[in-house]
Structure 1
Amino acid sequence: MAYDFQVVIDTNDPHTLADWWADALGWRVEPQDESFIRAMIEKGYATDDDTTTHRGAVVWKAGAAIRHPDGLERAPRVLFQQVPEPKTIKNRVHLDIRVGADNIESVVEKLTAKGATVLHRGRQGPNWWITIADPEGNELCIS
């Protein structure tokens, strides 16, 4: 039996990082239902401390998710999960963002203007890529 999955990225600021990655990938941040959140608080399943305000809306503090504009049938969901500690070592897993050889430099320029850091340039045969880190240091490759 095959299983579905989502990719989870640890972060100190899930909503800001979800916005960054949604922009980087051309994806959409999943909306959070403020009335549902308020109902969970009213019923005692959550407290106001479990929420924060992002872009003027009440959202769950612990996470934010993005998905491909064509839905989960096209690509798995990416969840940004709040953790207390900052990233300290190299990722053991990272995403490769395939933009096409003619677009690598312009995409990297766009992402560095939005807080990414260039880590290194790689090449294997005719293929090349640039490894960057998002604003919280999570690595990704642009190829």
Structure 2
Amino acid sequence: MTSRFTELTVDCHDPERLAAFWCAVLDFEVIDRGEDKVEIGSWVPTVEAVRARQMPPTLVFIRVPEGKTAKNRLHLDVSPIDRGTDEEVERLLALGATTVDVGQGPGRSWVVMADPEGNEFDVLRTLAAPE
């Protein structure tokens, strides 16, 4: 048997704030809380469900004392499903994201953004049904 991708962990200063941001971005819910950590997901994993099939990973936000010092080597990509990319970028800006330049250059089909703690992510093409 192989392994399953079950969680992606993000180091941060404020797990509650970052979890709230990503819940709003992804329409996830908090599924677990502990001292200095918050886990969010689109489903509540069980051992049986994880063994049975590949499911979307959860996001776990862990409090750490150090700050972010360089460009992420791993980042999330998101695709809007019910609006255009530009409208999604505006929504994410209102939630506390910022646009960032990581050397991507002009004319790209995606937008590089950062969450409230500076972790980069990309907003890709829309998956909304054509009007």
Q: Using structure 2 for the length normalisation, give the TM-score.
A: 0.75
Q: Which runs of 5+ in 2 are unaligned?
A: 125-131
Match of 2:66 in 1: 85
RMSD: 2.2
> Shift in Å at residue 101 of structure 1?
9.9
| Higher CA-based Rg | 1
Match of 1:2 in 2: 2
The amino acid of 1:61's aligned partner reads E
Cα separation, partners in 2 of 1:70 and 1:84, compared to 1, 3 Å: closer
> CA separation in 2, counterparts of 1:105 and 1:69?
28
> CA separation in 2, counterparts of 1:100 and 1:26?
11
> Shift in Å at residue 16 of structure 1?
1.1
Cα separation, partners in 2 of 1:91 and 1:101, compared to 1, 3 Å: farther
> CA separation in 2, counterparts of 1:31 and 1:23?
16
Match of 1:63 in 2: 37
Contact 2:31–2:44 (CA<8 Å) still a contact in 1?
no
Identical amino acids, percent of aligned pairs: 37
Contact 1:122–1:131 (CA<8 Å) still a contact in 2?
no
Q: Using structure 1 for the length normalisation, give the TM-score.
A: 0.69
Deviation per residue, 1:13-71 (Å, 9 max, x gap): 01110110011011111144xxxxxxxxxxxxxxxxxxxxxxxxxxx231001111486
- Residues paired across the two proteins, number: 112
The amino acid of 2:39's aligned partner reads A
Q: Which runs of 5+ in 1 are unaligned?
A: 33-59
Match of 1:19 in 2: 20
> Shift in Å at residue 103 of structure 1?
1.8
SS at match of 2:111: strand
Deviation per residue, 1:108-133 (Å, 9 max, x gap): 1111112111014662xxxx110100
Contact 2:13–2:67 (CA<8 Å) still a contact in 1?
yes
| Residues 61-140 of structure 1 aligned to structure 2 (within 5 Å) | 61-69=35-43, 74-99=55-80, 103-120=84-101, 123=108, 128-140=109-121
> Greater strand percent: which structure?
1
> Shift in Å at residue 82 of structure 1?
0.7
Contact 1:10–1:83 (CA<8 Å) still a contact in 2?
yes
